[in-house]
Structure 1
Amino acid sequence: MKKITDMMVIVLMVFVAGTVKAQHAYFPTEGTILYDKTVHVKNLLKRHISTLKDDNFSQKYYQELMDRVSETAVLKKKVSFRGEEMSLESVKETYDPIVSNLLRSGLLDYQQTLYQDLSKSVSKSTFEIGGSPVLIQDSLLHVKWKITNEYRNIAGYDCRRANGVTLDSVYVVAFYTDQIPLSAGPGTVHGLPGMILGLVVPEQHFNIYATDVKFGSPTIKTVAGRKRDEPMTRQEARGRLKDILGRWMSDQQLNLLFAAMFL
């Protein structure tokens, strides 16, 4: 009788342990994530000045800003996800006048709204350049990844590091968690076995890390544009903007500009 009782206790303990483990391994499929995007403003301005064509006026203007602008600026972003869909939007904040002007110019951030449907491999984004709307509609961005054995805790999640290359030569570092199974992140960079909670783009002088994760049914912000706004692929946008801006910008500056738009 004692042996039967001991066996029942063991079975019960295994069952309870399995239940606890199953509860711990909950994989949410919908929710919102808040991120802080830290832009290293002075480093970004230095890079911008170095790529300018011979234009003493522009160089002098940005050099004067260097003496007055803060070292970094922190921008707020929100990702909403449900199933295979996600959207990214900027959270409105009040910034100092210099940072606000740099945001309006697109130098720090294009403040784009992004929508992606991973099941259909569709990516849509909209932003403004010089007050004119730009609507990008294309397939998902291709990223070549190499997953490492380095880990970092971000917003309470153990995240694994992956190094990637996208847009031909842009190097990115991502930290993802497989506890949120959607293969997305705070931008167009995706393709890892879980949600990206940390992203570093050295060439663009920014990093973005999650600060808060909440589960529940979110509002996915779709991207449609106005009826007269003609959607362009990334390649079409690149060609059109190069035709317009090529006379003032070097190829290096244009490549940096396109990477900022498309990431």
Structure 2
Amino acid sequence: MKKLVLITFGMLFVSAMALAQHAYFPEGGVIHFEKRVHLKNFMKTKMALSKSDNFDRSYIEQLLSKAPDSYVYKSTLSFNGAESRYDAVKQEQTGIMRNLDWYGFDYSGSYYQHIEKGVFKSRLDYEGGNILLEDSLLNIKWKITNEYRDIAGYTCRRANGVLLDSIFVVAFYTDVIPLSSGPIGTHGLPGMILGLAVPDQHYNIYATKVEIGQPQIVSELAKKKDKPMTRTAFQSFMRDRLRIGDWYTEAEFNMMMVNMLL
């Protein structure tokens, strides 16, 4: 009997080791995300930073009184090998949101990252036209913590980050999906980012579902004739166009740039 118990224990141990050695780490799939923007907090911050004559404040306050406290934008992130692409999902909006969306809660963008090559691309919808960016991956300084959270069925570990010199972000990543990528332009952790919060911009992005597969990742976001800009060139272009100091304050401009460059 004792010999039988030892044999059984040995078989269970070998089976457990085999499972550990052959754990499944998906290299491709599609992740569904929801981006929740806290509208009223966003607008309060934006109006506090703006020039006093930049808004019809009574009109904005009337809109906000009828608007929800928060609004959810949906998106997907397709990944395969070293590439990922994050795309907004088209959705119908209420009349209130169509009026408020002009203030830049979300730019209905597409974002491409090639982690091994260090390439970042984005296409943003701005005033009915496309803004195209192409640059290196964002420089993000991460500090991994011992806090964990379950997101879309995956155990994720928290990391605090700083990007664009001073913007604080909170991310939750899983090392079960080994690609060091994430929503929008985030990357740089030991696995896929399934949760992201940007307090200064009053939004968070969390995965709701992960589908494993081998999607084709399209790196081109626009026609070949279209000329993309670097982040630095884009900021100079927008600074000239928006006439900082006349139409926009420096603080309001910086808030807008973070939302467009992240």
Give the structure-1-normalised TM-score: 0.92
Q: Say which SS state the counterpart of residue 94 (structure 1) adopts.
A: coil
> When the two structures are aligned, how many residues end up with a matched partner?
260
Q: Which runs of 5+ in 2 are unaligned?
A: none
Q: Tell me whether 1:42 sits opposite 2:40 in the alignment.
A: yes
Asked if 1 retains the 8 angstrom alpha-carbon contact of 2:29 and 2:79, the reply is yes
Equivalent residue letter for 1:90: A
Equivalent residue letter for 2:198: V
Q: Which residue of 218, 236, 244 corresponds with 2:241? A: 244
Look up the match of 1:118.
Answer: 115
Equivalent residue letter for 1:78: T
Look up the match of 2:19.
Answer: 20
1:1-36 Cα offsets, whole Å, 9 max, x none, are x9987765454332212223345x311110010011
Q: Say which SS state the counterpart of residue 70 (structure 1) adopts.
A: coil
Q: 1:48 to 1:6 in 2, by over 3 A?
A: closer
Q: Say which SS state the counterpart of residue 77 (structure 2) adopts.
A: strand
Equivalent residue letter for 2:141: K
Residue 196 of structure 1 and its aligned partner are, at CA, apart by: 0.5
Residue 162 of structure 1 and its aligned partner are, at CA, apart by: 0.5
1:144-176 Cα offsets, whole Å, 9 max, x none, are 111111111111111111101000111000011
1:79-133 Cα offsets, whole Å, 9 max, x none, are 0000000000011222212213333x25110111011101100000001221221
CA RMSD of aligned residues (A): 1.9
Look up the match of 1:201.
Answer: 198
Residue 78 of structure 1 and its aligned partner are, at CA, apart by: 0.2
Give the structure-2-normalised TM-score: 0.93
Q: Say which SS state the counterpart of residue 74 (structure 1) adopts.
A: strand
Look up the match of 1:254.
Answer: 253
Q: 1:183 to 1:56 in 2, by over 3 A?
A: closer
Look up the match of 1:141.
Answer: 138
Q: 1:186 to 1:106 in 2, by over 3 A?
A: farther
Residue 246 of structure 1 and its aligned partner are, at CA, apart by: 2.5
Residue 56 of structure 1 and its aligned partner are, at CA, apart by: 6.2
* CA distance in 1: counterparts of 2:175 and 2:55, whole angstroms: 50
